[in-house]
Structure 1
Amino acid sequence: MITSKTELKEYITADNTWYCPISFKEKFIAIIAHYPARQLKRYLYFLRKQEFYINTANGSKIIGFLGIYYERRKNALGEKLGIDISPNCFGKGLQIYHTGIVVNAAVRAGENCALHGGNCIGNNGLTEDVPRLGNHVDIGYGAIIIGDISIADNTVIGANALVNRSFEEPGSKLVGVPAKRIN
Structure 2
Amino acid sequence: MNIEQRGKAMNKNMIYKDNSFFYKIPLKRRIKLHIVNDHWIVIKRYFILLRKAEYYGNKKTFMSRIMSFWFTRRKNKLGIKLGFYIPINSTKPGITIWHNGTVVINGDAKVGSGCIFHGNNCIGNNGKSLKAPIIGNNVELGVGASIIGGVKIADNVKIGAGAVVLSSCEEEGVTLVGIPARKVGGEKR
State the TM-score, normalizing by the size of structure 2: 0.90
CA deviation map 1:10-48 (0-9, x unaligned): 21111141212422x323321221201111111011101
Q: The residue matched to 2:21 in structure 1 has which SS?
A: coil
Whether 2:53 is the aligned partner of 1:53: answer: no
Fraction of identical pairs, as percent: 40
State the TM-score, normalizing by the size of structure 1: 0.93
CA deviation map 1:43-95 (0-9, x unaligned): 01110110000001x1x221111111111111111010010000111111010
Q: Which residue number in structure 2 is paired with residue 110 of structure 1?
A: 112
RMSD: 1.3
Q: Which residue number in structure 1 is paired with residue 68 of structure 2?
A: 67
Q: Which residue number in structure 2 is paired with residue 37 of structure 1?
A: 40
CA deviation map 1:96-140 (0-9, x unaligned): 112211110000111111111100110001111111000111111
- Structure 1: which 5+ runs fail to align? none
| Alignment equivalent of 2:18, drawn from 15, 18, 23 | 15
Q: How does 1:1-183 map to 2 (within 5 A)?
A: 4-20=7-23, 21-23=25-27, 25-56=28-59, 58=60, 60-98=61-99, 99-183=101-185
- Structure 2: which 5+ runs fail to align? 1-5
CA–CA distance in structure 1, aligned partners of residues 112 and 119 of structure 2: 18
Number of matched pairs: 178
